[in-house]
Copies of this chain bind each other. A is one copy, B any other.
Amino acid sequence: MGVDRFDDIRNAALALFTEQGYRATTMADIGTAVGMRAPSLYKHVASKQDLLARIMSSTMEALLAGYRGAVATTDDPAERLRRATEVHVRYHARHRLEAFVGNREIGSLVEPSRTHVLDLRADYERGFRDLVAAGVDAGVFHVDSVRLASYAVLDLGMGVSAWYREDGELSEDAVVWQYSRFALRLVGYQGPGYQGVGYQG
């Protein structure tokens, strides 16, 4: 029950941070949104800053866990990038507010949370750089700058979080599969599945 209540508070905070920004949101707004008075609210969270830090670090931890799960399932460089991109894009389609607030409010975090989240983000970016570099080393990817290519792949996820809607004409799977194919094209991969329209799991 305590956990559920925290989830309610977290979700209300996430919605308010998205809608009106971290700075303009007060703990009183969050309390009103979940129907709790300050004494109950502060049993679950220490402060508005605590909420933001937990939202942003859990977002990066979820992305990193997804990445690790994706690359653990194959040794093939192209399949690794495909699967890691699928997880990345799917996360951004499903967690649009987290992506938005994560991008928007990094400057609102105070230390040591800010460094912690930036470190997690650096780990995540390095993960994609490593995947692109491995494909280049294996001779299956062809890029001028490994860094830029990995940024471009990551950009695709951020973009999805900005425009994707469940009630839109494109299903989540369609977006995930086509975007991971875009990622493989982008790094110059021309192996199996490159020109195919479907997904081979």
Contacts and interface: CB of A to CB of B under 8 A. Distances in A.
A19 B156 CA distance: 24
Q: How many copies of this protein are present in the complex?
A: 2
A128 B13 CA distance: 36
Contacts of A23: 20-21, 24
A24 B17 CA distance: 12
Contacts of A182: 149, 152, 186
A155 interface: yes
Nearest to A188: B185
Given A20-B23, A182-B186, A147 B170 contact: yes
Interface stretch (A40-48, A50-58, A69-77, A158-166): A158-166
Interface stretch (A3-11, A111-119, A172-180): A172-180
A138 interface: no
Contacts of A158: 155, 158-159, 162
Contacts of A159: 151-152, 154-156, 158-159
Interface residues of A, number: 39
A145 interface: yes
Nearest to A145: B178
A107 interface: yes
Interface string A94-123: 000000000110010000000000000000
29 contacts: A21-B23, A21-B24, A23-B24, A24-B24, A103-B162, A104-B104, A142-B195, A143-B178, A144-B181, A144-B197, A145-B170, A145-B174, A145-B178, A147-B169, A147-B170, A148-B174, A148-B175, A148-B178, A149-B178, A149-B182, A152-B156, A152-B159, A152-B178, A152-B179, A154-B159, A155-B155, A155-B158, A185-B186, A188-B195
